[in-house]
Structure 1
Amino acid sequence: MLLVRPIRATDLDALVMLAGEASFGLTSLPPDRNLLAERIEKSLRSFAFPARKPGSEMYLFVLEDAAAEFSERKIRGSAAVYAKLGGYEPFYAYDIQTEELHSADLNIHTSVSALTPLIEHDGPSAIGSLFLSPHFRRRSTGRFLSLCRFLFMGLFPEYFEDKVIAEMRGIVDSNGESPLWNAIGRHFFHVDYPRADYLSAVNKAFINDLMPRHPIYMELLPDSARAVIGRVHPNTAPALRILEQEGFQKTGLVDI
């Protein structure tokens, strides 16, 4: 039997094992015992002390396999709801903005798009941390795990903003190479993508310190980088379909 419930303090070993099954790019589920312990503690506080209005609360749920023989194998999936993005730790992204250009002399009409840095201090609620052990990706289990978050939000709407977004994992290969990061991020942050992904899970302050300050024209990026903008990781495609079926629509935001 499978059931979804709030995470418990005793789930740490199982959550560490689950995180070890994830590949690069799942920032909110780092394979780091100390960071995961902090996330569990934050979730426990959020459930124990409900806020009067959306703040920094994070509600972490897990999928439990009640038939598992060993306790560290009981947790087979995770999903979280973040009450509000921004505040003490802002939300960082690129906003794709398109401009129409026209030359009457040359009779040319074209459009150019730019990745404009965005820092959001008063953001929406967000869902994330959706991960399912590969052996359990069957019979709509992922859909069950994902939609349970909306049931919780429907029961306690006062905990959340009216707008909800979902950050989807982008294109990263098995070696941790990201074409978009290689084209932009590494020139500003001077670390590879796996290292940047880990650092952002610890503390996002370095993003504000080193991120680009001006728009970056997409036409100047290599083809490999432009080709992955707006695309999700193959393992994330099922999660994207679930959200689109629930009414979510793609935005022009791209993770830094």
Structure 2
Amino acid sequence: MLALRPVQLTDLPQLQQLARDSLVGVTSLPDDTERLRDRILSSCASFETDVQGPGAQNYFFVLQDLVSGRLLGCSEIVAATGCDEPFYSLRNRPFSSESRELNIQHGVPALSLCQDLNGQTLLRGFHIDAAHVHTAQAQLLSRARLMFIGAHPQRFADSVITEIVGYSSEEGHSPFWDAIGQHFFDLSYTEAERLCGLQSRTFLADLMPQYPIYVPMLPPQAQACIGRIHPDGQEAFDILEREGFETNNYVDIFDGGPTMHARVANIRSIIHSRSAIVRPSQQVDATGRYLVSNDGLGNYRAIIADLDLDAEGFVRLSPDMLAALDVADGDRVRVVSL
């Protein structure tokens, strides 16, 4: 059985291996021991802190095979962007010009560096082992974060965003970066992403152009990358799209990948989940497959299980399920259909 739980410091060696295998462009999962250690310790402190409003907390989760102990994936929530440093994006909106003498109005799409998305909850760091791509476990890794937000709403903003990795070639070549960023940094796309993962976006944004970049002046290959998803990022996009997330007018400053957003009040795994009272059972006559979580904080757990959820609000769980969720008879769990 696989279960999602908060990260622990003892996970560091396996987490670094996940970082080595992660997609180029996932800057929130750097292949650097000290950086990952800091991320883990920060997450542990966030789970232990009494919070009444969203701030700089980060909640890091891992997906673990409970039999072998192997980590098969990870994902993260940042409670509010822009607390420790500005959260930079490129706003993609028309720049209007007008000539009264000629009676002409014209709108040209333009990219502008901005901090519009500061203060929103951010999903990041999604990575799953290749053998579990396009399986129910990928949904567990992504959606269980949303159920955690639903269980602890005071810790998060009313809206949630995520950046989907944009297009780059198998060789790590990004036409979008080559057309814009490389002119200001003289760095390859992969090197710029690596430095961002080890440091922050601030040093890059300091050197980015402060004036609008007119999209028609970019090479066609770069224009085609605006809002384009890397093939390996499609599953992350699809899962959240089914949850009610939509793309908006913001793209990533590195590769032009799309930004998705949703109001918490509209997220499927939150609004359609229901609370149920646990009843132990040696045998479960399943009628459906569900995503199940406890409402814990530091002991938060989530699994996928075939269950019988009755109309009276009780759910029967096997001993293995009880252990995986760290719950007992009479406890409450949160349940949503897969």
Q: What TM-score results when the alignment is normalised by the length of structure 1?
A: 0.92
Residue aligned with 1:26, SS: coil
Residues 134 and 235, structure 2, Cα contact 8 Å, conserved in 1: no
CA distance in 2, matches of 1:75, 1:245: 26
How far the C-alpha of 1:94 sits from its partner, in A, is: 0.6
- Contact in 1 for aligned 2:57/2:78 (Cα 8 Å): yes
Contact preservation (8 Å) 2:92, 2:110: yes
Task: Determine which of 208, 212, 217 is the counterpart of 1:211.
Answer: 208
For the 8 Å contact 2:23–2:232, the answer to whether it is kept is no
Report SS of the residue matched to 2:86. Answer: strand
Helix, strand or coil at the partner of 1:52: coil
Q: 1:8 maps to which residue?
A: 8
Is the Cα–Cα contact under 8 Å of residues 32 and 198 in structure 2 kept in the other structure?
A: no
Q: Say which SS state the counterpart of residue 80 (structure 1) adopts.
A: strand
Choose from 144, 165, 168 the match for 1:169.
Answer: 165
In the other structure, the counterpart of 2:328 is none
Give 1:112 deviation, angstroms. Answer: 1.5
Structure 1 distance, partners of 2:129, 2:112, is 36
Matched, 1:253 2:250: yes
Deviations 1:34-84 (CA, angstroms, capped at 9, x unpaired): 21111111111111113221111000000001232xx5xx11000111100
**Displacement of 1:209 after TM fit?**
2.1
Q: Residue 47 of structure 2 aligns to which amino acid in structure 1?
A: F
Query: Letter of the aligned partner of 2:221 in structure 1?
Result: S
In 2, distance between residues paired with 1:150 and 1:66? Answer: 22
Q: Would the aligned equivalents of 1:24 and 1:174 in 2 still touch at CA under 8 Å? A: no
In the other structure, the counterpart of 2:189 is 193
Task: Provide the C-alpha distance between the structure 1 equivalents of 2:162 and 2:180, rounded to a whole number of angstroms.
Answer: 23
**Alignment partner, residue 47 of structure 1:** 47
Q: Which amino acid aligns with 2:16?
A: V
Structure index of larger Rg: 2
Which of structures 1 and 2 has the larger relative contact order (alpha carbons within 8 angstroms, sep 6+)? 1
**Structure 1 contact 23–174 (Cα < 8 Å) conserved:** no
Distance in 2, Cα, partners of 1:106 & 1:134: 58
CA contact (8 A) 1:50 1:159 kept: no
SS for the counterpart of 1:148 is helix
Q: For 1:252 and 1:190, locate their aligned partners in 2 and report how far apart those are by CA, in whole Å.
A: 27
The count of residues paired between Structure 1 and Structure 2 equals 252
SS of match in other structure, 1:237: helix
Matched, 1:115 2:111: yes
Are 2:88 and 1:92 equivalent residues in the alignment? yes
In the alignment, is the contact (CA less than 8 A) between 1:28 and 1:129 conserved in 2?
Answer: yes
**Correspondence for 2:65:** 65
C-alpha displacement at 1:99, in angstroms? 4.0
Match in the other structure for 2:147: 151
Deviation by residue 1:224-249 (Cα, 9 ceiling, x = unmatched): 10011101110111111111111111
> Structure 2: which 5+ runs fail to align?
254-338
Structure showing the higher helix proportion among its residues: 1
Q: Which residue of 1 aligns with 2:37?
A: 37
Query: Who is 2:127 aligned against?
Result: 131
- Name the % identity: 38
Residue number in structure 1 paired with 2:22: 22
C-alpha RMSD of matched pairs (Å)? 2.0
Partner letter of residue 198 of structure 1?
A: R
In 1: Cα distance, 2:118 partner to 2:175 partner:
30
Q: Deviations over 1:175-224 (max 9, x none)?
A: 22111000000111221111211221222231232111100000000011
- Normalised TM-score (structure 2): 0.70
**Which residue is equivalent to 2:266?**
none
